[in-house]
């Protein structure tokens, strides 16, 4: 056998190994248990979600939309789990899968219940009437039954993926992921202790008071120059923040504001101390700052007058 034949055999062997390891083997090895955390395709008086899924596949909706939130996704709702794609009713996996990859349109993992059924139908009939600039084609050609079933399916997406709290940190900061579990396992600071809050006050004064003010009222010296005003931590709203959400905000900042990512400046221990202090700031009634005179002032620093020398003398050792 010449070298070309050997090369062809090697290429084909490699090809079949790749196909076997990525397609065939997972079919038998991947065996997650049902989580009760995914979608419940029930039939209602308005439509049949299971049939609507078939229409979703038939119309190629998954070419542009995905149904898979990843660890790095923010603002998409709860992350998916392997068992979410397990069907309890007939003990089979969802086939064909509609995970999608392109995301030309928004992710639909937790779309159910975000908009009313009337809005979803109007969006399918004339997308640009409700979302100007949308490149989604019109599906006005669907008959009433198909349209109702498709809308019912869309409204079922994520209907078993419940958010338990109004304010919730991303999964990598909670014990729902391996990263979150490692983070919480490294935590050594008692964020409910007064000693930790006292240590955190010093960190707050050094790093945060220039914007948020010495007492956290959002009245720091920098506040007057910022278009997006610093948060006023006296608001009762902040009482609902759990430790992991405080830590998340301190670590990654707030997009669209001047709040920096202190995860790049402070150690994990320092950030937990800061969390302990921040938890002491919310009050039962907000302290309102509505006057420039209420801003914290920076005391003027009097520098010594220079002599007749042209340059300031060196002050090093």
To the nearest whole percent, how much of the chain has pLDDT over 90?
56
Q: Which of 29-33, 119-123, 143-147, 299-303 has the weakest average pLDDT?
A: 29-33
Average pLDDT over residues 265-271: 96
Above 90 in pLDDT, residue 62?
A: yes
The span from the CA of 148 to the CA of 144, in Å, is: 6
The model's pLDDT over 299-311, given as tens digits with 9 standing for 90+, comes to: 887 777 766 665 6
Helix axes 144-156, 117-125, angle to 10 degrees: 120
Task: Please provide the average confidence, as pLDDT, over all residues in the chain.
Answer: 87
Give me the pLDDT at residue 77, please.
Answer: 79
Average pLDDT over residues 266-287: 95
CATH class of 171-294: mainly alpha
Report the candidate in 43, 162, 158, 150 with the shortest Cα–Cα distance to residue 112.
158
Give me the pLDDT at residue 131, please.
Answer: 94
Give the pTM: 0.72
Average pLDDT over residues 59-86: 83
Q: Which of 27-41, 131-145, 290-304 has the weakest average pLDDT?
A: 27-41
Fold agreement between 49-156 and 171-294: yes
- The answer as to CATH 2.40.50.1040 being correct for domain 49-156 is no
Above 90 in pLDDT, residue 134?
A: yes
Question: In this structure, are residues 66 and 103 in contact, taking their beta carbons and an 8 Å threshold?
Answer: yes
The model's pLDDT over 216-258, given as tens digits with 9 standing for 90+, comes to: 999 999 988 898 999 999 999 999 999 999 999 999 999 889 9
Give me the pLDDT at residue 276, please.
Answer: 97
Could you state, in order of their start, the residue ranges of all structural domains in the chain?
A: 49-156, 171-294
Average pLDDT over residues 188-208: 95
The model's pLDDT over 113-129, given as tens digits with 9 standing for 90+, comes to: 999 999 999 999 999 99
To the nearest whole percent, how much of the chain has pLDDT over 70?
93
User: Buried (b) or exposed (e) across 75-109, using 16+ Cβ within 10 A?
Assistant: ebbbbbeeebbbeeeeeeebeeebebeeeebebbb
Report the candidate in 124, 126, 154 with the shortest Cα–Cα distance to residue 46.
154
Give me the pLDDT at residue 88, please.
Answer: 53
Give me the pLDDT at residue 182, please.
Answer: 94
Average pLDDT over residues 30-49: 80
Sign of CA dihedral 98, 101, 105, 109: positive
Average pLDDT over residues 25-37: 74
Question: In this structure, are residues 220 and 295 in contact, taking their beta carbons and an 8 Å threshold?
Answer: yes
């Amino acid at each position: 056998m010449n070298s070309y034949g050997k090369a062809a055999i090697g290429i084909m062997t490699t090809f079949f190994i790749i196909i076997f390891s990525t397609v065939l083997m997972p079919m038998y090895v991947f065996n997650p248990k049902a989580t009760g955390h995914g979608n419940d395709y029930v039939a209602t008086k308005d439509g049949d979600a299971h049939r609507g899924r078939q229409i979703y596949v038939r119309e190629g909706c998954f070419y542009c939309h995905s149904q898979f939130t990843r660890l790095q996704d923010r603002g998409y709702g709860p992350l998916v789990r392997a068992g979410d794609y397990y069907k309890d009713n007939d003990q089979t996996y969802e086939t064909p899968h509609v995970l999608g990859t392109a995301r030309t349109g928004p992710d639909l993992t937790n779309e159910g219940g975000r908009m009313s059924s009337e809005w979803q139908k109007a969006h399918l009939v004339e997308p640009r009437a409700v979302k100007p600039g949308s490149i989604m084609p019109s599906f006005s050609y669907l008959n009433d039954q198909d349209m109702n079933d498709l809308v019912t399916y869309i409204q079922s997406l994520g209907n078993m993926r419940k958010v338990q709290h109004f304010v919730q940190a991303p999964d990598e900061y909670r014990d729902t992921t391996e990263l979150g579990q490692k983070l919480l396992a490294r935590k050594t600071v008692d964020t409910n202790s007064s000693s930790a809050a006292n240590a955190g006050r010093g960190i707050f004064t050094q790093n945060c008071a220039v914007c948020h003010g010495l007492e956290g009222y959002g009245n720091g010296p920098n506040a007057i120059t910022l278009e997006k005003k610093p948060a006023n931590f006296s608001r009762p709203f902040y009482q609902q923040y759990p430790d992991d959400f405080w830590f998340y905000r301190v670590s990654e900042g707030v997009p669209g504001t001047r709040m920096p990512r202190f995860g790049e400046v402070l150690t994990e221990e320092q950030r937990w101390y800061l969390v302990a202090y921040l938890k002491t700031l919310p009050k039962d009634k907000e302290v309102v700052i509505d006057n420039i005179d209420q801003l914290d002032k920076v005391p003027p620093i009097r520098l010594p007058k220079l002599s007749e020398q042209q340059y300031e003398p060196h002050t090093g050792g």
